Amino acid sequence: MIPLPSMLPILDPRWHLFATVAQLGSLTRAADALNLPQSVISRQIGQLETQCGARLFRRTGRGVVLTDFGQTVQQRILPMIVAADQLADAILTTNGIPIGEVHVGLLPSSIPSFAGQLFRAARARFPKVRLHLVEGSSAQLEEWLAAGRLDLALLLREGEQPEPGAVCLRGMALDLIGPAGDAALAAGSISFEAMCDLPLILPAAPHVLRKRLDALARARGLQLAVAMEADTIALQKELAIAGAGYALVASLAQTAAVAADARLGAARIVQPELLRTIVLGTTQHRPHTLATRSVAQLIAALFAA
């Protein structure tokens, strides 16, 4: 076996890049996660291979995989990267003050009521923390967490019981929205069975809400009357106002939407009541710092207030 260099420059960012490529199995996905051109990543991997005197990756039809030598390097280098990151955080935060960058993903429905609140609170409490806020759907945010592009993200879970260990921020019911004054919404609530008879504006499969609604309808011997598919709350709202059908939104989101737009009406879905939970997701791509832990605690406190 080719020996490893006696001194691996672990603080060299190229080794972090190597770890990202190894985890994602693709130069393209690594370039997206690191916001770097693929050519730069390819060139730096080549430099590492020259330094080591052996190939670290081999190409496949679907990306890249580690060579035997690359696997040996990965096993030795990952603990060093973790230790280096922890040391860097410890040096920066020896006085107990959070410092550094924290990347947070927010759901579109949370932007109006939460983005500004989070920014102001973080600036007041952690002046040396620099927040990077990103908007995306729950599926997008989860993908970015897995790729290491985000440290924290608000994620949606359908139902009352999210996965064990998840940090539950808030539970909410789903409402049906449509044009203001619509007769189907006049009672303030509507049964799931009655809702199935209405023209619905739903996200396309495999969206988790769509899968849940389809399964619930089948279990009850019902069929959803899908008039149109739209994948964002803003688009669903505008289509509902235009009379294209009725959309389902979380109660907190619809409250803000209805308050801001007199053209909208809403009714709570009952029998059964459909519940959704917002959880705080954290990346497993790298160790958490005092800054990321502090912002995570702040997010939980703001939701609890």
Q: What is the reported pLDDT for 8?
A: 46
Q: How many residues does the chain have?
A: 305
pLDDT-derived band at 3 (thresholds 50, 70, 90) equals very low
pTM above 0.75, yes or no: no
Q: What is the reported pLDDT for 88?
A: 66
pLDDT-derived band at 105 (thresholds 50, 70, 90) equals very high
Strands 200-202 and 246-250: parallel
Over residues 202-216, the mean pLDDT reads 89
For residue 210, pLDDT over 80 is answered with yes
pLDDT-derived band at 294 (thresholds 50, 70, 90) equals very high
Outline where 25-170 has alpha helix (H): 27-34, 38-52, 68-92, 116-125, 138-147
Q: What is the reported pLDDT for 164?
A: 65
Mean pLDDT of the residues in the chain: 84
Over residues 129-137, the mean pLDDT reads 90
Token code pair at residue 69? 């030598």
Residue 138 CB-half CA count within 13 A: 20
**Dist CA 170 CA 302 (whole Å):** 11
Percentage above 90 pLDDT, the chain: 37
Strands 100-106 and 167-179: unpaired
Selection from 64, 58, 4 nearest residue 28 by Cα: 64
